[in-house]
Structure formats: structure tokens, C-alpha cells
Chains A and B, each alone.
Chain A
Amino acid sequence: MARSRLIPVFVLAAAIGLVGFVSVAASQYNDVGSLSSLAGPARVTVSGDVVDLGGESLVMVYDGRTFLVDARGPYAIAEDPETGEAYALFLLRGDNGFIVAALYPAEEFVARYGSNPVVEAVIVVDGMYRPDSKVELGRLGPGGFEPLYEVPVLEVTAILKGCHSSYQQPQANTG
């Protein structure tokens, strides 16, 4: 008797659970690699592996201008020496190897995250993807500009950082 009453409950639970699971799955972040199929500009929220840029000085060509790039490991600060315009630059790699240059206004970046931020291995960014706009990143060698990357641009409006690494930190307290 109880079993006959329980069966519809379990069926309903399975249906609710399935709807919930599918809805939550649909809300997970797209990988940067998914941008490779986009032909035109689009507002996107994507996650990607942060490419280590090392610690050397690089050069970035973007929007017809040349920026001096101070690489700081997971990110870099790229500054146009003529206008003073500066961006925080991340190279984000997708699961399929597709890379984009995520550009975020440097002033806003420092104001929000400080001058020496902790950056996780994977970050999520929100912004406008512009496949027709390219960034060239490379070194200035004896023979001139040596390109390392030529990748499309993602103009970032917000960096959404996970907080996973926080929980592995030692603990601090107020005085």
C-alpha cells in the first residue's frame, strides 16, 4: 500500500531533480574555446585557463597602436607610451587550445584588485568578444618585432574570479 503511494512521489522527485540538473547544467560557464565558432561580435561570459606570460617585457600591437607590456606571470599591464592608455591583459586558453586576449582597463583593474593581485589558474570574464579585432603580442628582438601570439580580443567588463584558492591560504586576524 505504502509502495503504491511512494512510486508517484519518486517519479515526481526524479522529474524535479532532472529539471533542476538540466537547468543548472545550462547555467555553467561556456569555455573560451566556444568562441572559436563565433563569426561576429557578441556579449559573452566565458571561462578559460590563464596563460603564463612570464616576467619579461613584451610588445603588444592593438588597434593600430603599439603598447609596452610589463608581464607579471598570469597577467600583464600593457601601456601605450604616447597616450598613457593602459590595459590589464590576460591570455585565456580554451579546452580546444583557442586563445583570446582579454583586455581590461588597467586603472579599473588596479582599483578593484590592487597592484599585486592573486590570480587563479582559471578565471571567468564577462565582456564583448570581437573576433575581427586582433591583438599581436611579441618580443622586440634584434630583427624587429617577433610575434608570439595573434589572437582575437575580448573587451572585458568584469572579471569574475573564483574564491577557491582563498580556502587554501593561512588564516589571518585583526590586531
Chain B
Amino acid sequence: MSQRVALALVVSALLALDTALLVYSVVRGPFPVTVPLGTPLAYRNIYIHVPIALSTYMLFAGAALAGLLSIIRGRVYSRYIDTFVALGVVYAAATLVTGSAWASESWGVAWNWDPKQTAVLMLFLAYLAYFPLKRSIADPERRERVAAAYATAAFALVPVSYLSSRIFQSLHPTTEAIAQYAESGPGGALLVARIAVVALLTLSLALARARGHGIPWALPALYALTGLAIGLGVFAGTVGTGADRVVDVDVDDEGRIRAVTLADGRRIEFERPLESPIRPAVTAEGVSTLVSHLVRPLDGEGLVLLYHWSTPLSYFIHITIITLAAALAVAGTRGGGEV
């Protein structure tokens, strides 16, 4: 079996696994039972935002490593550096957008120059400057050397970004807090699986592009169409607004819902108490876990749980960046090997 066929098989498997885990995450991913602000369901973003953010660090580490090897060996791995930086910039942009969308619900505002947001923005801008810098140098040999040096040096912002929420006061959780979440329940295994699959898939696609192996065009096309179709099916008609937020719930002794009050003042009473759409139905203190969720009442007979808009946005951004990375890998075929 040729390397090209083996790579196509690996990428196919990873794309299929990524789709399955992504859909499972947004449909069945566990979330914290209560949160300080917003709907707990928005925490399903963790299975999208965190893998993209960690893959961003991985891509910039790849660029820095290739740059460092170029400097040490005196042989420029330009195609590797370009690929890792290009994908890293796209992933960093996706990290900023998915994180800000989630923050609009879980922090109360999308952008507030939080140290973590500032650090990731600086990382994004530093690597975005790589391409104009490279293009500005006419001499080909000097251009490659300077580009390699810059890709290596800009990596200094990765530890600044990684540590920003630990060193400075930040609304963003530390890695330890997320690890604690991962260890505390079934969501942990899903999160680890998502991080591993997204990182492996990203690395495979980046290497396919950089090494010029390429992959069949049908793979990104199939991935995009499948992801788009499933996403539209999952999210159509299930995105809520602030007016749909549950601010109070009247529950019976068994945690069944007798009435809910929404943020716009509507009080919906149910003739027959409803089973809560959330498990567990109440917290250890006996408070309904439906509080803060977004819901749509169904003529006094039921409730539909709604997503915060950040989750479908993050879902479609994930589909877009993986499709883009796969499309770059397809285009890599024409590049033909190392530069």
C-alpha cells in the first residue's frame, strides 16, 4: 500500500470519527449541572472550543519546530512552516470567535480584553504577520531564513497565552480547572477523545499538505456536506434567545416541573407535571437544574430545550476549518513534495 493510500485511509477514518464525536458532543455531551451565568447547555462548546484551541498551540509548535530545524540544519523546511502557520492562523481565528461567542453567554460579554483573549489575539496577529513579512523580502534565501527565524521566535507568545489565565486574574478557566472537569464525570472521556481526534486529524492534514502527498478531493467535500446536513438537522428551530431563559421553576417532591417562569415574565403552568429534560432534575440543594436553561414551551404541554447560538456557531466553524485544512491537503498534491 502506498503512503498516499494509507494517508487517505487514516484521514478518512479520522474525519468520520471527528464527525461522530462532534455530533455526539452537541447532542449528548455532558455539561455542568449549574453555572454562574447563562445556560449550562452552552458548556457543550467545551468539546469544540478547547480542541481547536489546543490544536492551535500544536500547529504553532510545529511551525516553531520546523523553523528551529531550518536554522540548525541550514536547510529550510519552508513548506512545513508555511502550512503550520497558515493552519495555525485559521485555528487561532476560530479559537477567538468560538471563545468569544461562548463568553457572551458564560461571562456576560463577548469581548472585554480579558488577559486570555488579549493573549490569543496577540498570538493570532503575530503569526498573521508572518506572510506579509515573508513576502516583503525579495532575496529568496534571505526570505526563507528570516521567515524560519520569525516562525520560531513568535512561538514565545504560546506560553504567554497558555499561562495568561494562571498568572493574571482572568475570567477564563485554567487548564487545571478544565482537567478537573475532565476527571469528574463522563464528559471527561468525551473531551479527551475530542482533543485527541481533532489534534490527530489536524496534524495528518497538515503533514499531507506539507509533504505533498495530498488526499482525494471527495474527502473534504463529503465531510463538509455531511457536517452541514447533520448540523442543520440538529440545530434547526432549536436556538433560543434571552427571553426564553428559565428564571424560576416550580417542582414537585419528585423533581417534576409544575410551572416555569421565563425571563420575559411569562409563567407557563402544566396541567400534568413534566419530567425534567435535564438529568439530574434537581441539585443537591433541591433546586431545579432547568433554571438558566433556554426553553420553548409547547402549548402548555411540554418544553423544548434550546441551544445558545454559540454552540451551532462553533459547530459550523469547526466544520469549516477542518474542511479548509482538508482542502489544503488536497491542494498539497499539486505542490509535489518538500521545498
> In whole angstroms, what is the CA distance A115 to B186 when docked?
29
B109 near A170 with CB under 8 A, answer no
Q: How large is the interface on A (under 10, 10 to 19, 20 to 34, 35 or more residues)?
A: 35 or more
B278 near A175 with CB under 8 A, answer yes
Does B57 belong to the interface (CB within 8 Å)? no
Closest residue on chain B to residue A16 by CB atoms: B156
> In whole angstroms, what is the CA distance A173 to B289 when docked?
10
Closest residue on chain B to residue A8 by CB atoms: B149
Residues of B in contact (CB 8 Å), total: 76
> In whole angstroms, what is the CA distance A121 to B315 when docked?
32
B32 near A172 with CB under 8 A, answer yes
Does B13 belong to the interface (CB within 8 Å)? no
Q: How far is the CB of A13 from chain B (nearest CB, A)?
A: 4
Q: How far is the CB of A95 from chain B (nearest CB, A)?
A: 11
B31 near A175 with CB under 8 A, answer no
Identify the B interface with A (CB < 8 A): 28-37, 40-41, 43, 68, 71-72, 74, 106-109, 112-115, 118-119, 122-123, 126, 149-150, 152-157, 159-161, 164, 168-174, 177-178, 180-181, 184-187, 242, 245-248, 261, 263-264, 275-280, 287, 289, 291-292, 305
Identify the A interface with B (CB < 8 A): 1-2, 5-6, 8-10, 12-17, 20-21, 23-25, 27-29, 45, 47, 110-120, 122, 124, 126, 158-175
Q: Which 10 A-B pairs have the closest CB atoms?
A: A17-B156, A171-B185, A12-B153, A169-B32, A167-B181, A13-B153, A111-B263, A171-B30, A28-B168, A27-B118
Return 23 A-B CB contacts under 8 Å, by A number: A9-B71, A9-B153, A16-B157, A24-B168, A111-B242, A112-B108, A158-B108, A159-B108, A161-B36, A161-B106, A161-B171, A162-B36, A162-B170, A163-B106, A163-B172, A164-B177, A166-B36, A167-B32, A168-B181, A170-B33, A171-B32, A171-B186, A172-B279
